[in-house]
Amino acid sequence: MDQLLQVYFRVARCWNNPDVAERQHMTVEKAIKLLRRVREEALRTKGGAPLAKRANHLMQEIVCKQVETEFHAEG
């Protein structure tokens, strides 16, 4: 569970700070992949539901922001 938390917070730090994301080579695709893994493994872990919910929420934020960015770039 500690490793899942570390991964979640690494993605969250990158999401909140583009400079950190660039240094850690955190792309949108990589963030989504990591958050899916956190969500799936947390759901299999006893007491992991809150972390799975947070990972899912962050993943949705990232996807929505990506869609907005692509929409504005096209328009």
Residue pLDDT, tens place only, 9-60: 999 999 999 999 999 999 999 999 999 999 999 999 999 999 999 999 999 9
CA distance 2 to 36: 16
SS3 58: helix
Helix axes 49-74, 2-16, angle to 10 degrees: 30
Q: Are 27 and 34 in contact (CB under 8 A)?
A: no
Predicted TM-score (pTM) of the model is 0.86
Dist. CA 48–CA 14, nearest whole Å: 22
